[in-house]
Structure 1
Amino acid sequence: MDLDLGGKVACVTGGSLGIGKAIAETLAREGASVVITSRRRELLEKTAAELTERTGGDVVGIASDTTDTASVRRMVAAAAERFGRLDILVNGAAAPSGLVRNTLAEADPDLLLDDLNTKVVGYFRCAQAAAARMREGGYGRIVNIGGLTGRSSHALSGLRNLAIVHLTKTLSDQLGPAGITVNTIHPGVVETEHIHELYEREARKQGTTAQAVEQGFIDRTPIRRVLAAGEIADLVAFLSSPRAGAITGESVGIDGGLTRGIFL
């Protein structure tokens, strides 16, 4: 399927590693020019060079801190100046798995606030800055990376993903008349640089091995495997395209069937 992304300009936050990197690569392969952004400039520049070489596309790194409103606005302005427009925003900059995964008695309120500032308010900052540029072109796609903890009670940090769903629906109402869609996706267990850190943490809590934790996830997943980051990227690319223009305000799970809840 031709997604008609040629000539489009995308910004991927948290784009130097993991799911964000895979999304940037897929968008570039589909013909979009891509800005990746994160706080670690050296890694950002290395990733941008790698993706440019691998895709033959135009991938550039612009450092920013999504907890800093001025930094976000500078990044978006630089992206628009570099390419002359901004059509797609993929919000993915956040602490993988969340900062607060322990019990109420042990949970750190400051870390919970950090989670919300980075992932919820950070997504808001980026959407606010990017939407102004999208309005100028009459086209926009915002895709927010949520998480399955928003659909369960496994971790206190899951409340950040629930808040993103509310933000998504609210922004879809406000931005739809300008030709801008806003959606959230909830990835399941995905093979990334960070997932093995989660396995190790859970293993220590459970008194078992990281391999056993991973196998437990696989056994509970109907497709019986961990997802590849590229599979998440494919969904993001579709939602970023003109072909998904009728889809907005939605929250879509991409988890191999791991979630057992029924969501209408």
Structure 2
Amino acid sequence: MMLTNSSLYGQKIKPSSSGYVPVNGIKMYYEVYGEGRPLILLHGAFMTIDTNWGQLIPELLKNRKVIAVELQGHGHTEFSERKLSQATLASDVVGLMDYLKIESADVAGYSFGGAVAYQFAIQSPKRLKSLVIISATYKNTGWLPEIGNAFKKMKPEMFANSPMQAAYDAVAPDKTKWTKFLEQMMATAGEPFDLGEANIAKISAPVLIIAGDNDGLDKIELMKTYKLLGGGVSADLGPMPKSQLAIVPGQGHVSLMMQTSTILNYLNNFLK
């Protein structure tokens, strides 16, 4: 499990503002850090702002405004029976931007949050400056088959007394909803999804894709995605594409997110 920023720095860095925004029938929790060009962070499945981004936020806030959210049912954002879908979650992010009067932003998403970030890019292109996708895909077949099989076999009891449950219990408005939240997320994970090659090819903002070499993503499919975004060319014979692909060696899905300095380096170079 990742260290949180509180365990790294002795005390958790306090957001400059935080609260709830009413969006599409739920109240979504958010935190804002720092000043400058806005960067929105979308966490992975079953995670909180702190467990996903805790190590990165203290560095990211030094030269930009960081806006981190907790998606439906996660962390401080209460469980809702509202149907979970990438489209709904992406429109929640737009609602938050409207609330905070942010016209456009850079968006970074990890895993489940990466799929939501792809959807955001597709449905709200004018609100996006650039996109960072960490260990995520826009379709379920972008994962290796064994990952899809593992999703289908997930059961709530697998998460009993896990660090994820401890993080949830620490901040959730109603701890009794943990199992219902897991069931809802697992039902979503088991459903096939595909945001569409044509839609990915239409993304005009620059995209940085970061993946671990053994993070469960099918790297043949990942290369196809990068080509849809204009990458995979010989830059010696023509212009360098505006999108980028980084494969981090010796990393799985969970360990990749712990490579704070590596991810920070890629993010800062890309976003500047």
TM-score bracket relative to the smaller structure: 0.3 to 0.5
- More helix per residue: 1 or 2? 1
